């Protein structure tokens, strides 16, 4: 039995090594982050703009008003004027 590694085996091992290591890293991050949510449970950065002044705020701080089937969001300052 020849104790040396053939060139084909050596090339095949190093050809697939980056792919396998990448899959391992991707899998580790997937399993670590899959159940993680923000403090509020809503996607980061989801805000609504006031239809009058353009001020942005989260849904809980905005006042919805329906106009002929469409919903407009107003900040608490502008909601009293409409």
What does each of the 82 residues of the chain score in pLDDT, given as a tens digit?
678 888 888 899 899 999 999 999 999 999 998 877 655 555 566 788 888 888 888 878 888 888 888 888 888 888 776 6
* pLDDT at residue 17, rounded to an integer: 94
Domain, as residue range, for 28: 1-36
Question: Do 12 and 44 reside in the same domain of the chain?
Answer: no
Model-level pTM greater than 0.75?
A: no
Question: Do 44 and 21 reside in the same domain of the chain?
Answer: no
Question: Do 44 and 82 reside in the same domain of the chain?
Answer: yes
- Record the tokens describing residue 24, joined without a space: 């391992």
| Number of domains the chain is built from | 2
Question: Do 81 and 52 reside in the same domain of the chain?
Answer: yes
Question: Do 23 and 52 reside in the same domain of the chain?
Answer: no
* pLDDT at residue 30, rounded to an integer: 93
- Record the tokens describing residue 17, joined without a space: 């090594």
* pLDDT at residue 71, rounded to an integer: 86
Residue 76: other Cβ atoms inside 10 A? 12
* pLDDT at residue 73, rounded to an integer: 86
Question: Do 22 and 45 reside in the same domain of the chain?
Answer: no
CA dihedral 58, 40, 45, 55 (to 10 degrees): 10
């Amino acid at each position: 039995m020849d104790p040396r590694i053939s060139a084909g085996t050596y090339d095949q091992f190093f050809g697939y090594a980056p792919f396998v290591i990448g899959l391992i890293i991707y899998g580790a991050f997937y399993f670590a982050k899959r159940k993680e949510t923000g403090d509020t449970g809503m996607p980061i950065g989801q805000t609504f703009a006031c239809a009058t002044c353009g001020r942005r705020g989260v849904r809980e701080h905005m006042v919805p008003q329906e106009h002929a089937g469409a919903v407009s969001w107003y900040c608490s300052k502008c909601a009293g004027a409409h």
